[in-house]
């Protein structure tokens, strides 16, 4: 598969995947991205122009999608509206991109018989109790709790239907929370890191007991590449790196690594419908496809991420002031 189309390839995890494929394969990559607030053309800067082509466009544009699918071997579908808070405020863009956009891509994959991999989230499974020893598996029933996670669940089901009904050669992966380079400063980890860099006290929702299962974006990329190469058509694979941490611990670790007191943060009102805990069991991916994460130690991955944001202020600074002004208007 030497010709790849990556939707959402200027976004956070999509751009990390493009960098990974350029560095670890001979693939030529076409990136389709609408450059909404979370997409950043600068995330692809420095990549070889003879191997990476950028197309500014929308995945709901059936004519453009058809044209691009005709010229590639495989498609990796990262493009999504993906912010829970935004989905609570304005659900419609999530329906358009996550449902209609995925349908548009699947129809093109069906027409051109292209290998298709769909990127999804562990949030389709709902959440777990804080004291529950269980983790999500490929058999966990769907139980989404926001417009975002509901539309991602719907897109997963569309992929499964197109595999079964039309023979589309597709796989799905549901991943835990990513961190790493090129993540928008509105997101939890980069927001706290950039706050400390700017001399602003980090903000913690509620008591900070909510647990997320963190994975470095480079490990997510290597897992997707493994599934694209070895995955069984029609199968779903959960991607995780055993990185469970509650939000309070993450903020305090960021402060410690950055040389600040561990308690130098403020509590703010918890957000509506804030899921308690996500946790991924990636046994199937590891045992059947032989994948393992490189950043098995969350602290070392976080330190590398902090270094990246320190060294790349020119990348994140343009969005920082507007992001903080927005959260300040909500008391967060």
- Report which of 30, 97, 100 is spatially closest to residue 69, judged by C-alpha positions: 30
Measured distance CA(277)–CA(130) in Å, rounded: 6
Fold of 3-178+214-239: Rossmann fold (3.40.50)
Q: In whole angstroms, how far apart are CA 332 and each of 236, 265, 324? A: 36, 12, 9
- 253-293 pLDDT, tens digit each: 999 999 999 999 999 877 666 678 889 999 999 999 999 99
pLDDT recorded at residue 328: 78
According to the model, what pLDDT value does residue 145 have? 85
Q: Is 59 exposed, middle or buried (0-12, 13-18, 19+ CB in 10 A)?
A: buried
Q: How far apart are CA 113 and CA 116, in angstroms?
A: 9
Dihedral pair phi/psi, residue 79, rounded to 5°:
-55, 130
Q: Give the pLDDT mean for 37-46.
A: 93
Residue range 189-219, pLDDT digits in tens: 999 999 999 999 998 988 898 999 999 999 9
What CA–CA distance (Å, rounded) separates 11 from 295? 21
Catalytic residue among 103, 148, 265, 278: 148
Helix (H, G, I), strand (E, B) or coil at 3: strand
Query: Taking the CB of residue 49, how many other CB atoms lie within 10 A of it?
Result: 7
Catalytic residue check, 81? no
- 123 is a catalytic site residue: yes
Q: Work out the angle at residue 33's Cα, subtended by the Cα atoms of residues 221 and 161, and round it to the nearest 5 degrees.
A: 70
Q: Which of 58, 123, 127, 156 is catalytic?
A: 123
- Determine the pLDDT at residue 232: 98
d(CA 328, CA 332): 5
Q: Is residue 127 among the annotated active site residues?
A: no
Residue 128 DSSP label: B
How far, CA to CA in Å, does 216 sit from each of 41, 107, 118, 177?
Answer: 21, 32, 19, 8
In total, the chain counts a number of residues equal to: 332
Identified catalytic residue from 33, 58, 81, 122: 122
Tens digits of residue pLDDT in 85-117? 677 777 898 999 999 999 999 999 999 999 999
């Amino acid at each position: 598969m030497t010709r790849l189309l990556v939707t959402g390839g200027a976004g956070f995890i999509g751009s990390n995947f493009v960098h990974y494929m350029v560095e670890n394969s001979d693939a030529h990559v076409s990136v389709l991205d609408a450059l909404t607030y979370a997409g950043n053309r600068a995330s692809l800067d420095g990549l070889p122009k003879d191997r990476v082509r950028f197309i500014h466009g929308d995945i709901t544009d059936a004519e453009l999608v058809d044209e691009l699918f005709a010229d590639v071997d495989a498609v990796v579908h990262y493009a999504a509206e993906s912010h829970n808070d935004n989905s609570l405020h304005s659900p419609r863009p999530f329906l358009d991109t996550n449902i209609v956009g995925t349908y548009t891509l699947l129809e093109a994959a069906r027409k051109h018989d292209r290998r298709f991999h769909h990127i999804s989230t562990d949030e389709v499974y709902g959440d777990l109790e804080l004291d529950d020893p269980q983790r999500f598996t490929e058999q966990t029933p769907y139980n989404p709790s926001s417009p975002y996670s509901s539309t991602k669940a719907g897109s997963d089901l569309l992929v499964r239907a197109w595999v079964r009904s039309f023979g589309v050669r597709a796989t799905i992966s549901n991943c835990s929370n990513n961190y790493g380079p090129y993540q928008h400063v509105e997101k939890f980890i980069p927001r706290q890191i950039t706050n400390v860099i700017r001399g602003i006290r980090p903000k913690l929702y509620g008591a900070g007991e909510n647990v997320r299962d963190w994975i470095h974006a480079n490990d997510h990329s290597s897992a997707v590449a493994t599934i694209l190469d070895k995955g069984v058509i029609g199968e779903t694979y959960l991607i995780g790196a055993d990185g469970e941490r509650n939000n309070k611990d993450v903020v305090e670790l960021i402060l410690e690594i950055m040389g600040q007191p561990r308690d130098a943060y403020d509590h703010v009102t918890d957000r509506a419908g804030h899921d308690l805990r996500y946790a991924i069991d990636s046994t199937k991916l590891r045992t059947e496809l032989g994948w393992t994460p490189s950043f098995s130690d969350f602290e070392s991955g976080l330190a590398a991420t902090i270094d990246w944001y320190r060294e790349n202020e020119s990348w994140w600074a343009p969005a920082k002031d507007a992001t903080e002004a927005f959260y300040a208007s909500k008391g967060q």
